[in-house]
Structure 1
Amino acid sequence: MTVDHIRYDLLAQEALRSVVRRVLSDAARDGLPGDHHFYISFDTRAPGVRLSQRMREKYPEEMTIVLQHQFWDLIVTEAGFEVGLSFGGVPEKLVIPLSALKGFFDPSVKFGLQFELATPEGAEAQEAPASVDLPAGAGRPSRGAASEPALASARRAPGQDAPGSATTAEAAQDGAEETPARTGGAEVVQLDVFRKK
């Protein structure tokens, strides 16, 4: 078996993360255009992730945030981004390195990316979720406007209401360990598909 000394898989992951960085930079500068909004999944245990102890206890492994109506102070750097969000009426500031990303999805155009987290040599790669669940009937975001976002999980309980109110946002927070759901026609392709086995 041939050894990939170039590590095309890592180069491709880096290039895809730069797509997310560019999209978030544009949103920070100009607001969200049209119906675009983002579901961003990340590993809460990854180096460089900063969130409150309350959020870390509630989401010890993975968290998905929604940048749609209400978010503030979105700052994007070469290494990651920080953003202010409200969870159950409590404002929080999150710092998320791009290396911690597990998934990015824009349901307005059914565009999605999944990422593999870098693991130390010899460690097993972490498995990304099969899909990012979309809320049915997500509201139209205003360009650069703000109203409370909902916290979603990459996995939601069947029949759970779409995010959008404080009560459904709290329900979404409690659905972190449920079964995965499909994205309604959007297919997210993992880079493993292109690798020789």
Structure 2
Amino acid sequence: MTGTIDYGNLMHRAMRGLIQEVLTAVQSDGLPGQHHFFITFDTMHPDVEIADWLSDRYPEEMTVVMQHWFDGLEVTDEGFSVTLNFGENPEPLYIPYDAIKTFVDPSVEFGLRFETQDEEDGEEIEEVEEAPLQAVEEEDEPRKDAEVVSLDSFRK
């Protein structure tokens, strides 16, 4: 056993497990009530699978919305796959949990942010932050397409 408890890594795994548990429930029962998710992920993560045109358009990170229409949600221990609609073009995505930068459910003002910071010795560490969010006003008409959004409006 080492001389310290790695709370950062433990929190990192617990929060990724929370995302997996939420998505597993959605896979079996659908999205309850007004719940919906903004998921920002690193498009350069080696295990992310997205269409070439999406990675060309979003070469660093991308935010998708799971709300009114999504199909084929499959949740595993490593990540999840889902088909979303981009301008009437259904596209399959595979997103490993380790690629997720933020997971936000604005309907209940819940959000997780995973930040990578460089330590002095050059190693990277993950910092997990749970951030309360301001309520997001919903549109009257449901959106059919996936959206890429900026989360800057949710940050304090």
Change (3 A) 1:117 1:48: farther
Output one character per residue of 1:142-165: Cα deviation in whole Å (capped at 9) or x when no partner. Answer: xxxxx623312234xxxxxxxxxx
Instruction: Report if the CA contact (8 A) 2:43-2:58 is conserved.
Output: yes
Contact kept, 8 Å, 1:99 with 1:117, in 2: the verdict is: no
Partner of 1:150: 146
What's the C-alpha RMSD, in Å, of the aligned pairs? 3.2
TM-aligned CA distance change 1:114 to 1:125, over 3 Å:
same
Does residue 41 of structure 2 align to residue 45 of structure 1? no
* Superposition deviation, residue 82 in structure 1: 0.3
1:14 alignment counterpart: 13
Cα distance change, pair 125–58 in 1 and its aligned pair in 2 (3 A) = farther
Q: TM-score with structure 2 length normalisation?
A: 0.82
Asked whether the 8 Å contact 1:81–1:96 carries over to 2, the reply is: yes
CA contact (8 A) 1:131 1:154 kept: no
The CA deviation at 1:90 is: 1.1
TM-score, normalization by structure 1: 0.66
Q: Which runs of 5+ in 1 are unaligned?
A: 142-146, 156-179, 188-197
- Shift of residue 71, structure 1, vs aligned partner: 0.3
What residue in structure 2 maps to residue 64 of structure 1?
Answer: 63
SS at 1:63 equivalent: strand
Question: Which 5+ residue runs of structure 2 have no aligned equivalent?
Answer: none
1:132 and 1:54, CA in 2 relative to 1: closer, same or farther beyond 3 A? farther
Say if 2:118 is the partner of 1:96.
no
Partner residue in 2 for 1:122: 122
**Corresponding pairs, count:** 152
Partner SS state of residue 28, structure 1: helix
Q: Deviations over 1:120-151 (max 9, x none)?
A: x82455899x998976324587xxxxx62331
1:91 to partner: Cα distance: 1.1
Q: Residues of 2 paired with 1:30 and 1:23: CA distance?
A: 11
Q: Aligned partners of 2:154, 2:8: CA distance in 1, in Å? A: 25
Q: Deviations over 1:80-114 (max 9, x none)?
A: 00000011111100000001110011111101111
CA distance in 1, matches of 2:135, 2:52: 27
Instruction: Describe the SS at the equivalent of 1:65.
Output: strand
The percent identity for this pair of structures is 42
